[in-house]
Amino acid sequence: MSTRRGFMAGLLATGLAPQISWADAGRPRFLSAAREENGQYVLCGLSELGEILFKLPLPDRGHAAASHPSRPEAVCFARRPGRFAFVIDCMTGEKIAQMDAPEGRHFYGHGVYSADGAWLYTTENDYDAARGVVGVWDVKNGYRRAKEVASGGIGPHDIKRLSGTDILVVANGGIETHPDSGRTKLNLAMMQPNLSYLDHTGAILEHAELPKDMRLGSIRHMAVCPDGVVAFGLQWQGDPAEVFPLVGVHRRGRDMKMFPTTKFQGSQLQGYVGSIAVNATGTHIAATSPRGGIFATYEINSGTCREIRSFKDVCGVAGSGNSFVLTSGSGEIRHIKTGKPGNSHVGNPSWDNHLISVG
């Protein structure tokens, strides 16, 4: 593949190359930030089977990534409260742009492209005003910042695009932070998380909030089902002995639906969902808890927890057909089919929080 990359890079230099696609970069199925044994931070492209197809250096710890919908281009975001995002040509391994959060802003580690790939949307903290914003970046003009719009809440973390549309959904976690205070949570007594839906202009179309007795459930990560249902996971900020549901779904125009959680399930999750994914058919959700060292699968229609399995330091998860692929901080990649034994392999870098599907 390196030979093909070199050949394509040569064509690009002469201006004779056709429109390149992810196939020209080896058809990576997933992206993940990682840390190698020598301490070097990298962004990796992975095959469906978890093979590392490319490994590109990063200046510091990454969090999540966003893949361009058509061409082999990816953005890797710094972990909160980082201020850098690198745009990488996954054919050549070169950094083609660097996005720096404007003065008074920092990234939350997530972003998403518009359906046509012309715009990139990033979740950011306007920390002196204690409000969340979505940065809008002009991809065709070298990822120049075009504007910002209100995220609809405080602490916007994850951002997704509803399938087949340019409607954005933002997970406003509700937690106020400020770089001067590190990662200290400043407003737990008043936090109010929500999901906010925005159109392509930034106009807020809808808010969805948790029940009042669950306002300490910070909505952090989401997965979008093919039919537009948004699955989400919470990180509980209240008494750890309290047991509240941590996984739910929302469809526009309706109330949030939280999946029931037993005391045993709650103790295993330890109040913390690190990442969430949906399978290709939209029938099952997988949620990970690195604190609990487990992952759980749920049936979307009924909300029933189908299984819980142990997996030390698991966090990254992505759908793969009707199965799931999971990554851990110990370098393990595990392939899971709901209700059946999975297979795994090790010997990789230490994977960071998220496993991102390409395309």
Tens of pLDDT, residue by residue over 300-348, are 999 999 999 999 999 999 999 889 999 999 999 998 875 545 556 666 8
Q: Are 168 and 134 in contact (CB under 8 A)?
A: yes
Dist CA 194 CA 26 (whole Å): 38
Q: Which residues pair with 153 in a beta bridge?
A: none
Question: Given this model, what pLDDT does residue 14 score?
Answer: 47
Q: How many residues does the chain have?
A: 359
Q: Which of 18-22, 124-128, 157-161, 327-331 has the lowest mean pLDDT?
A: 18-22
> What tens digit of pLDDT does each residue of 65-85 get?
999 999 999 999 998 888 999
The pLDDT tens digits of the residues spanning 246-303 come to 999 999 999 999 999 888 888 899 999 999 999 999 999 999 999 999 999 999 999 9
pLDDT at 1 over 50: no
Average pLDDT over residues 196-204: 96
Lay out the sheet containing 217-224: strands in order across: 217-224, 230-236, 247-250, 257-258
Helix (H) or strand (E) holding 268: helix 263-269
| CA dist., res. 349 & res. 13, Å (int) | 32
pLDDT score recorded for residue 82: 86
- Percent of the chain surpassing pLDDT 70: 91
Q: Helix (H, G, I), strand (E, B), or coil: what is residue 132? A: strand
Query: What is the spatial distance between Cα 316 and Cα 356, in angstroms, rounded to a whole number?
Result: 8
User: Is a pLDDT exceeding 70 seen at residue 165?
Assistant: yes
Mean pLDDT of 116-132: 97
105, 202, 205, 210 from 199: Cα distances, Å: 22, 5, 7, 22
Question: Residue 6: what pLDDT?
Answer: 53
- What confidence score (pLDDT) does residue 25 get? 67
Checking if the pLDDT of 16 tops 50, the result is: no
Burial label for 50, CB within 10 Å (0-12, 13-18, 19+), is buried
Residues 6+ apart with CB under 8 A from 347: 331
Helix (H) or strand (E) run with residue 113 in it: strand 105-113
Task: Say how many Å lie between the first and final Cα of the chain, rounded.
Answer: 20
**Alpha-carbon dihedral of residues 319, 72, 169, 322, nearest 10 degrees?**
-10
Which helix (H) or strand (E) covers residue 6, if one does? helix 2-14
Q: What is residue 115's three-state secondary structure?
A: coil
Q: How far apart are CA 155 and CA 133, in angstroms?
A: 9
Distance CA 211, CA 219 (A): 13
Closest alpha carbon to 61 in 31, 39, 44? 39
Between CA 198 and CA 119 the distance in angstroms is 14
More confident residue, 151 or 11: 151
Please determine, for residue 7, whether its predicted confidence score (pLDDT) is greater than 70: no
Q: Are strands 95-100 and 84-89 parallel, antiparallel or unpaired?
A: antiparallel
What Å distances lie between residue 260 and 223, 247, 300, 302, 304, CA to CA?
Answer: 19, 8, 12, 10, 7
H/E run at residue 297 = strand 294-299
* Residue-range domains of the chain with CATH: 18-357 (2.130.10.10)
Q: In sequence order, what are the beta bridge partners of 317?
A: 326
> Which pLDDT does position 20 carry in this prediction?
83
pLDDT tens readout for residues 86-117: 998 888 778 899 999 999 999 999 999 999 99
Average model confidence (pLDDT) for the chain? 90
User: Which residue's structure tokens are 């970046």?
Assistant: 137
User: Which amino acid would we find at residue 143?
Assistant: Y
Q: What is the DSSP string of 161-183?
A: E-TTS--EEEEE------GGGTT
What percentage of the chain exceeds 90 in pLDDT? 72
Across 133-147, b (16+ Cβ under 10 Å) vs e yields bbbbbebeeebebee
C-alpha–C-alpha distance, residues 238 and 101, integer Å: 31
Distance CA 15, CA 155 (A): 43
